[in-house]
Amino acid sequence: MEELPAIGGPAPARAVRRTIATVYVASFATTGLNQAFTVVLFFLLPAASVGLVNWGTATGTIVFYVLDLGIATSLVVTAKQTPVQLRTMVGVVSAFRLVTTAIVAAAWLIGTLFRLIGNPESEVLALVLLGFIVRQFQTPFICWLQVLNRQAAVAMLGLVPMLARLALLGILWRLSLVTIESVLLASLAGDVFGLLAMGAIAGRYGRPRESGVTPIRLALKLLRASPMLTISQAILILQSRFDWLLVAALASYSALADYAIANKATELLTLSGAILGRNALPWLVEGWSHPGVERTVRWLGFAVTFASFALAFLGWPVLYLVFKNKYAGAAPVIPVLAALTPSLTLYQVLQFALLAKQRTREVVIASGFALAAQVGIDLMTIPSLGIMGAALGMCGFTMVVFPAALWFALKNELFTQKTALELGLAGGGLPLALLVIFGISRLWSG
């Protein structure tokens, strides 16, 4: 068994940059495989079936992000400050997850028995929820490796379920057995492989130097941090998935398929902020100025802005080459979402920086007002404008949340005014540039 490093010690700048580089390579490989899996589904299944799968995924994502209770974040912060044994993490988190599983199972059973959801939706939702349940039990292993500054190992392990899913999907395709149910079962099997791999690797580093806190004390610490973290996570996931449910309810499953694929086109870039924020969380506990972090954020802003600019102009042509006009409704939405991507990406980093300093209340305030603006716009515009209305709702969210998060971070002295100005320009420069370009093109064509 390998001897562990001191949990609370700071990581040197070179180690931070090397780890972040490895994390990004592995995480983008994982996300790329996930996008490939999704593209195959969009290609093989009818648009209505694609919409149904995305409805189930959106529902499951909302439910489990709320019922996560903020454990994934608070556990890393707690264990970084106070030594915790792996077996204690596993025992406490598993107890929380079993309660979550019982609640979700009871809700699904009531909805099915009383016909609150239809038969196709019930079957899809059951398989999707099982996958989320399996992934929930990965939490203690992921947090343990992150606390030990082994974020690269976590990122590499993320490849396991995606490789398994793609392999199983290939077998299903060769046997002409591709259906909604078989695809979701393949996805569930991949999640099981991922859980087993995560547990096996984390177990290699399972012997701490110190005894750590007792299970009861750890559970109490997590519960004390839970209310505000739960609210912040609920708002975050509602922002990214509630509009999907509104599109399905106020438009159609086919419209949701268009909106989902437009989101997938930009999601790879937006997730880069969450990848950095979550993996840099142990370092952000030490401070924004931690060697290697600030420079990485600066390069992230530049890279995402460049990629988003390209996506605004090339997203639909590439999509057309793959699907022709099957998802033509996504064409006008992609440039709008691409313009928002830098702001949303950097907001993800700012959010984790505030959480690392236990400024959860500020995260809730900023995202809460932004979500209210988004939902209000969605309800007014989706019935008449369809998925373009949902895109306008995303604009409303971004225009509120990003400046508010910047202001809170500056107020709490997370960084200097110069850094705040750099982040503001990185987040707001692309929308202004695209507005000018499209405005000039409209005048020219008119």
Tell me the angle at which helices 47-67 and 253-279 cross, rounded to the nearest 10 degrees. Answer: 40
Unique residue bearing structure tokens 């400046």: 403
Say which DSSP state 330 is in.
G
The pLDDT assigned to 140 comes to 93
State which amino acid sits at residue 109.
L
Of 99-108, 229-238, 311-320, the one with minimum mean pLDDT is: 229-238
Q: How far lies 264's CA from each of 135, 177, 240, 270, 416, in Å?
A: 21, 25, 12, 10, 34
Nearest-10 Cα torsion for 14, 79, 284, 63: 120
**Nearest residue to 186 via CA among 210, 223, 161:** 161
- Any residues with CB less than 8 A from the CB of 42 and at least 6 apart, and which? 50, 257, 261, 323, 326, 327
Residue spans of the domains in the chain: they are 13-440
State which amino acid sits at residue 61.
T
Per-residue pLDDT tens over the stretch 246-273: 999 999 989 999 998 898 878 777 877 7
Give the side-chain half-sphere CA count within 13 A for 143: 26
Identify which of 117-131, 260-274, 287-301 has the greatest average pLDDT. Answer: 117-131
The pLDDT assigned to 206 comes to 62
How buried is 73 (Cβ within 10 angstroms: 0-12 exposed, 13-18 middle, 19+ buried)?
A: buried
- Any residues with CB less than 8 A from the CB of 135 and at least 6 apart, and which? 64, 191, 194, 195
More confident position, 125 or 279: 125
pLDDT of 4 above 50: no
Identify which of 8-17, 30-39, 271-280 has the greatest average pLDDT. Answer: 30-39
**Nearest residue to 339 via CA among 431, 239, 240:** 431
Confidence of residue 210 (pLDDT cuts 50, 70, 90): low
Say which DSSP state 176 is in.
T
Q: What percent of the chain has pLDDT over 90?
A: 32
Model-level pTM?
Answer: 0.69
Average pLDDT (182-201) is: 93
pLDDT of 315 above 60: yes
Question: Could you tell me if 272 and 300 are in contact, meaning their C-beta atoms sit under 8 angstroms apart?
Answer: yes
H runs (alpha helix) in 158-214:
159-174, 180-203
Residue 169: both structure tokens together: 């999907």
Nearest-10 Cα torsion for 401, 403, 405, 411: -150
